[in-house]
Amino acid sequence: MLAAMLRRGAVIVLGLMFGCRTATPVQPASPVAQASAVSVAGPVRAPAGRVDAAKITVLSTMLADKGVGEWGFAALVEADGRRILFDTGARPDTVLRNAETLGIDLRTVTDVVLSHHHDDHVGGLMTLREAVVGQSPGALATVHVGAGMFAPRRIDGRDVNSMIAIKAAFERTGGKFVVHDKPTELGPGIWVTGPVPRVHPERNWSGSRKVEQGGAWVEDTLVEDQSLVLDTERGLVVLAGCGHAGLVNTVTHARASIRAAPVLAAIGGFHLFEADDEQLAWTAQQLRAVGLAEFYGGHCTGIEAVYRFRALLGFERRESLVAAVGGRYVLGEGIVPGALAH
Ligand SMILES: [Zn+2]
Ligand SMILES: [Zn+2]
């Protein structure tokens, strides 16, 4: 079996090298009591455009059905002709190589959304930009980030926010950053959430980093952490990078600020790899309340959470799967996993 996996190019990387890896176990105060908060949010704005056709292809995560795996995340979002790169992986060339392996041309991708500043999500940005700028100066040229992305961070007095240096280098290539402090529509039905209010007691960060705030160094809660949301006729498709804001907080924010629709699918990294049984059960209960229909968990979601959700939410096999490089979510079709993650 191992030989067959290797022949197929399957790679499992269980490295623990980057900023997302050391989450504090989540200890919600009494999460069950707050369950009703999610399901009753009403729309706060008139419906805008809807996405009719969408495909999300995973380009970086630990499990790889094609290409190479790593501790990181990236995915290509294609929605009604718009092509957006969501996060850029950890190692400088992972997404570039995986895109080549999958036959994906990044020269027609204009926009990048970065979920947060950690190296396992921004590590490929400069390599990718430099690979396309010569032929297509407008490719991968506009990067959308949440407010707080460039705030100085430290561990034991050492500066660790590499986005500060990346910003200067990226801008020298003619690229620009757009900072979002609230949900913003990038195209009809295509949203970035901006920073997510932490209304539920999800605590999905390591606690090891400090951030500069008003002249003081305080615990870094990854305030900039944002997700991408597709507003489709059947519901919201939520794509997260590392889930530091919390999966439930993110869908709560999306339903309150974009549209109070069912959550059709949650895709990406949700930082549940260290969640205990209580946290997973509470999260599943919240997801049930918002009508979650499919779960494609990669990166820091961990393996166990995916299968717990399959059981706790009564999903079919194809409705809750571990994401792999080369795997896809297709609107109207559902999760199209690689061979290894079936
Ligand atoms: Zn992270
Ligand atoms: Zn991460």
pLDDT of amino acid 25: 35
> Does residue 299 register a pLDDT over 70?
yes
Q: Ligand 1 centroid vs 134 CA: distance in angstroms?
A: 31
Per-residue pLDDT band for 67 (boundaries 50, 70, 90) equals very high
Both tokens assigned to 152: 């100085």
One DSSP character per residue, 160-205 reads --THHHHHHHHHHTT-EEEEESS-EEEETTEEE--S----S----S
Per-residue pLDDT band for 17 (boundaries 50, 70, 90) equals very low
Q: Ligand 2 centroid vs 203 CA: distance in angstroms?
A: 14
pLDDT of amino acid 206: 85
> Does residue 103 register a pLDDT over 50?
yes
Alpha-carbon distances, residue 274 vs 173, 181, 252, 308 (angstroms): 39, 29, 22, 13
**Sequence-distant (≥ 6) Cβ neighbours of residue 7 within 8 angstroms:** none
pLDDT of amino acid 24: 37
Protein residues placing their CB within 5 Å of the ion ligand 1: 20, 118, 242
Both tokens assigned to 125: 């940005």
Q: Ligand 1 centroid vs 244 CA: distance in angstroms?
A: 6
Look up residue 172 and give its amino acid: R
Convert the pLDDT of each residue in 213-247 to its tens digit.
Answer: 989 999 999 999 999 999 999 999 999 999 999 99
Q: Ligand 1 centroid vs 110 CA: distance in angstroms?
A: 24
Backbone angles phi, psi at 113, to 5 degrees: -110, 125
Q: What is the mean pLDDT of residues 92-105?
A: 98
Angle at 208 between CA 163 and CA 193, to 5 degrees: 50
Q: Ligand 1 centroid vs 274 CA: distance in angstroms?
A: 14
> Does residue 10 register a pLDDT over 60?
no
- Average pLDDT of the chain to the nearest whole number: 89
Per-residue pLDDT band for 339 (boundaries 50, 70, 90) equals confident
Percent of the chain at pLDDT exceeding 90? 82
Task: Report the predicted TM-score, pTM, of the whole model to 2 decimal places.
Answer: 0.87
Q: Ligand 2 centroid vs 46 CA: distance in angstroms?
A: 33
Q: What is the mean pLDDT of residues 41-52?
A: 61
d(CA 212, CA 218): 6
Half-sphere exposure of 282 (CA within 13 A, CB side): 25
Strand boundaries in 32-141, DSSP class E:
54-60, 63-64, 74-79, 82-86, 111-113
Q: Which domains does the chain have, with CATH numbers?
A: 44-332 (3.60.15.10)
What's the full length of the chain, in residues?
342
Per-residue pLDDT band for 202 (boundaries 50, 70, 90) equals very high
pLDDT of amino acid 3: 40
Percent of the chain at pLDDT exceeding 70? 86
Alpha-carbon distances, residue 197 vs 178, 212, 223 (angstroms): 20, 19, 9
> Does residue 102 register a pLDDT over 60?
yes
pLDDT of amino acid 295: 98
Both tokens assigned to 82: 């718009």
| Pairing status of strand 294-298 against strand 320-322 | parallel
Convert the pLDDT of each residue in 117-174 to its tens digit.
Answer: 999 999 999 999 999 999 999 999 999 999 999 999 999 999 999 999 999 999 999 9
> Does residue 39 register a pLDDT over 50?
no
Per-residue pLDDT band for 48 (boundaries 50, 70, 90) equals low
**Sequence-distant (≥ 6) Cβ neighbours of residue 20 within 8 angstroms:** 71, 118, 120, 121, 206, 242, 244, 269, 271, 299, 300
**Sequence-distant (≥ 6) Cβ neighbours of residue 92 within 8 angstroms:** 123, 124, 126, 127
Both tokens assigned to 140: 């991968």
